Amino acid sequence: MRFMKRVGSLILIIAGIFSIQSGVKKSPERQMENLDRGIVAVRTSLYEVFISWRMLGTDPEKIAFNLYRDDQKLNQKPLSQVTSYTDRNPGDAVYTVKTFLKGKEQKESASCVIWKQNFSEIPLNRPSGGTMEKEVVSNRPARVNRPADNRPPGSQQLTPQDRRQYSYSPGDASTGDLDGDGQYEIVLKWDPSNARDNAQDGYTAPVIIDAYELDGTQLWRINLGRNIRAGAHYTQFMVYDMDGDGKAEIACKTADGTIDGKGRVIGDANADFVNERGRIVAGPEYLTVFNGTTGEAMKTVDYIPGRGDVCAWGANECNGNRVDRFLACIAYLDGVLPSLLMGRGYYGRLTIAAWDWRNGDLSLRWFFDSDKGHQEYMGQGNHNLSAGDIDCDGKDEVVYGSSAYDDNGEPIYTTGMGHGDAMHLSDLDPDSPGLEVWAVKETGGWGSVLHSARDGKILFRIPDSSDVGRGNAADIYPGHRGFELWSSATHGIYSVKGAKITDAVPSVNFRIYWDGDLQDELLDRAFIDDWDYINHKPVRLLDASKYGGSSINGTKATPVISADILGDWREEVIFRGSDNASLLLFTTTIPTAVRMPTLMHDTVYRLGIAWQNVVYNQPPHLGIYIGDGIFQKKK
C-alpha cells in the first residue's frame, strides 16, 4: 500500500472533507441519501475476519464506533480513527457496529454475518432466450421517414438460416435505495446477444431491466418491448431519489409495448414500428418514471425532443444512426433536489431536456437545442457525460464532452474540439481553481486534452491525428501532486501539469479505491491492479476470473458497476458471473488507517454512479482531491 509506506505509522483521519471544498457555495439543503452503516464481514483466513462499515457524510467529526462479535464488544475504547477492524475468530458469528457519540453508545446499529470469501454471489432470474421471428435478409438500403403506420409485412417468410437465436446476459447496472431501508439495491439491464450498435442493421430482442436486493431477491422486471432497440446507445436508465422521499425511482426512454413491473403495458401493446432493417425510426417515443419498489410506471410523457427529420442529426445519415444517440444524467440544478437530464444527439444536432419529478408529476424544467441559435454547439458531445458544480454557485452544471451547460440550460462554453469517447471530471489539479476535464478526441487531430471545467480553457494537450478511443485519469504516483493522465495515444503517463513521467502506459479503463491508501488502483476486465510507481508497472491485487467473474460490454471490458456500495470508503466492484445467471460483488479486505465518509456522500461521485451505465461507461470520481490527505493547502 503506497500511501502507508509514505506516512509510516501515522493514522490519517479525513472527516467532513466532502463539505469543505474551498470556493464552493454550499447548499445545506442539498439532498443526501439516508444510508445505514453498510457493515460487511469477510473471512480472510482460518482464524481472521475483516470487518468494515460506513462513516456518513452527515456524521459529526468526533463520531466513534463500538464493534461486537455476537454479544462481545471487541474494542476496549471506542473506535474513533478507523472504520475497519480485523478480528481473530475461527468460528461463525454475527458482527454488529454501534455508534458512540458524546460519551454514550447510541441506539443506532447495523449487523451482518460472515462472508466465506471476499465476494458475494447474487443469484439472478435470467430471462429466457428465443428465436427472432424476423431477420434482415437483404442489403437493400432502409427506407427513411416512413409513415408511422407503414409497418414491416407480417407475412414475410424466412428460411431457418435467416432466423436468429438469442440469449440474455447481465449488462450495465446502477444502484439506489429503492425501498428506503438505507441499503442499496441493484438495478440491472439485461442485454440480448443480438444487441446492435447504431451503425448496424438487424433486429434485436427486447431490453429487460430487473431490480434485486443484494441477496438476490428479485423486486420486479420491466420489459421495454419491441419498439426499443437493444444496444449501448439506446437505453440510458437513471436510478436516483429524484423527489426526496427517501426512495429511488427509475427513469428511461420507453415506447408502445413497454411492460412495467406490475405487468401493465404502456401505450399500444400491438404496435410494431420496427422497419425492414431492424431499426426504429417511426412511432411514439416516451419518457417514463418507474416506482423503485414495485417497478410500476408512475408517469409517462412524450420524449423531448422527438426524432423530427431523422437525417438532420449529423453526417446527413438517414438510417437512424445519429438520431438515436442518447445520453442521461442526474444533476442538482436548483442546488437542493435532483433533476433528470435526458440528451439526444451529439454528432450534429445536440439537445438536452431537464426534467423535475415532484409530487407524482414530471415537468420540463428547460430544453437546450443547438438548432435554436447555438450552431457552434453542434457535434460537441461525447459518448458519455458528467455533472457537477463547475462554477461554484452551489448548483450543478453538465459537462457534455467538448461543451458545458449551466444549471438553467444556457450554454457556458465549447472548446470546439468535437466528439470524444472518454472523459473524466474531477479536481484533477488541486492547485488549479475548480474542477478539470481530461478527455480524448476522435477527429481534428486534437488528441488528448486537459481543460478547465469552469470555462473550457485548455491547460495542456497531446496532439494526435488518430481517433483516440480511450483515456484514463487516476492518482497513481504519490510523488506527483494531482492526478496522472494518459490515453491510448499518449505513449506514456503525464502529470497534471503536462510533464511526462514515464513511457509506460497502464490500462486505459477504470480506476478504483481498493488497497487502503489514497492513490487509485486500476480496474480493467476482471482485474484490479496496483501501480508500482517505482518500476512503472502493474501489480495484480485481484483476479476475479478465478472465481467466475467476467467483464461486460465486449472490448470495452467494463464492470457491471463499480461503486462504494458496502463497508468503509473503499469501493466495491460487481462482475458478471460466467454462468450469466449471477453477479459477483467483490469487496476489499485490505486493512487501512484512513477514515473518511462514504464516497456516496460526495455529490460528484454519487452523480457519477448514476451516469456510469451511460453508453461508453466511465469510472466515477470524487469532486475533491484527496491524494495528499488534508495536509496540503486547499484551493
Write the secondary structure of 8-53 as one string of H (helix), E (strand) and C (coil): CCCCEECCCHHHCCCCCCCCCCCCCCCCCCCCEEEECCCCEEEEEC
Instruction: Report the sign of the C-alpha dihedral through residues 536, 541, 542, 543, in that order.
Output: positive
Report pLDDT for 613. 98
Question: Each residue of 47-66: pLDDT tens digit?
Answer: 999 999 999 999 999 999 99
Question: 3-state class of 375 per DSSP?
Answer: helix
The separation between CA 118 and the C-alpha centre of its own chain, rounded to angstroms, equals: 22
Report pLDDT for 267. 98
- Cβ neighbors of 182 (< 8 A, separation 6 or more) are 34, 35, 36
| 349-359 per-residue burial string, b: 16 or more CB within 10 A, e: under 16 | bbbbbbbbbee
Report pLDDT for 17. 52
The beta-strand segments (E) located in 124-240 are 130-131, 165-166, 168-176, 185-192, 208-212, 218-223, 238-240
Distance (Å, whole) CA 507 – CA 405:
31
Q: What are phi and psi of 118, to 5 degrees?
A: -85, 25
CB atoms within 10 A of CB 554: 10
The separation between CA 154 and the C-alpha centre of its own chain, rounded to angstroms, equals: 40
Cα angle vertex 408, ends 605, 439, to 5°?
45
Report pLDDT for 133. 85
Question: 3-state class of 606 per DSSP?
Answer: helix
- Cα radius of gyration rounded to whole Å, the chain: 24
Q: What are phi and psi of 496, to 5 degrees?
A: -70, -10
Distance (Å, whole) CA 597 – CA 54:
7
Report pLDDT for 27. 53
Report pLDDT for 137. 56
Three-state secondary structure string covering 410-451: CEEEECCCCCECEEEEECCCCCCCCCEEEEECCCCCECEEEE
Q: Which residues in the chain land under pLDDT 70?
A: 1-28, 137-163, 630-635
Report pLDDT for 29. 80
